[in-house]
Structure formats: structure tokens, C-alpha cells
Structure 1
Amino acid sequence: MSFLTDRGNSALAGVTVGKKIARAVKRTRGRRVMREALRRLLPWVKDGVWIVASLRENALDAKADDIYEDVAKSLKRRGLLTKEWKNRGWTVDSKDGGKCV
């Protein structure tokens, strides 16, 4: 994962998977799961942070909640999550902790 900061702008995220990694079906699923994990974490990412995530082949078979936890740990370790984020799980879908999926 790569991170850039740009003051004054909102947080942005992008996902990439190389064509040589696996077949299209696996790559598409991997992109979809990573995009969803980032979507759920983006409200708690500090403003001005741009995230570029690249999936490796061993992550393509991982469960969605495991990818979410790995991304969250990585962002927290680098100090990119706001203080309001308190290890919210995969089932929390909104900033105020309301809707569960």
C-alpha cells in the first residue's frame, strides 16, 4: 500500500491488481473486496490522505473481513486513521455506528 498526503483535500483511495497475478475472476473479486474494505474505512481516514492499494496473489483468496482487518491495521500503524475510529468491525457500515450489514 502506498500513501500520499495533500492538505486540504478529502481522503481518496484506489485499488490495483496486476494482470499476471491470476485469472480475471479472481482479480475482479480481489479488487471488489479491497474496494469495499477501503470504502468502509475511508470515513475515518484523515483528510488529505491518498491511498493506493495493490493486491498480491495470496490475498486474492482471503476472506473479506481478513482483508478489512489487515488494511485497518496498516492504516492505524501509520497513524492515518482519526481518533474517532475505535477498531470498528467489518459489520459497521456508517460513521456513527448505525447500520449493520
Structure 2
Amino acid sequence: MWTRHHKKKKYGRFALPAITIAFLSYFGYHSIHGDYGLKAGQQFDRLQAARSAELDKLVKQRMQLEKEVSLLSDGSLDEDIIDEKARYQLNMSRPDEIVIFNTYF
């Protein structure tokens, strides 16, 4: 009866650890540098902070504009506001006045 004896290969025992290392390296790299990785998360946080600051600025600007519109509405016309807006739009003033421009933006 003949039996075959296989000689143990030197590199066969490194196959599973090599595949494991390759697998972990691939997913490790993409967990840091990928589209949804840690660096993308940091960039998203910076963008969110910038947009939040811009939103706060726009909300303040809108509140100021709503306040001006409410003063110019039909129910409560304020003569001083109408006079101020007309002078600003027409770029006119009386000779005895000092004009100080205050922009809201």
C-alpha cells in the first residue's frame, strides 16, 4: 500500500495571516481616509461650523429687515422711517443736516 507524504511548505502557514493583514489594512485605510472616514468627518464638522456662523449672520440680517418692513407696513407708518428711507434712496438731505451712513450688512 502506497501512501503519499506531503512535504510541509514553508510559505503555506503565512497565507492566512497575510490575507488577514491585507483585509485589515484595506478597511483600516478607508476608515481614516475614505469618503465616510475620520478625516471626512473632521472636514464635515469644519464645514458645519462655517455654515452655522453664516446662518446666524443671515438670521440677524433677516430680523433687521423684518423690523424695517414692519415699520413701513400700512398699519403703522412711521414718518421718521419713511423720511430716512426716502433720503437714503434719493441720496438727498437738507443743507443744515449732517448725514451719517450706517449700513446693516
Greater share of helix: 2
* Normalised TM-score (structure 1): 0.26
Q: Given the two structures, how large is their TM-score scaled by the length of structure 2?
A: 0.25
Higher share of residues assigned strand: 1
Give the greater-gyration-radius structure (CA). Answer: 2
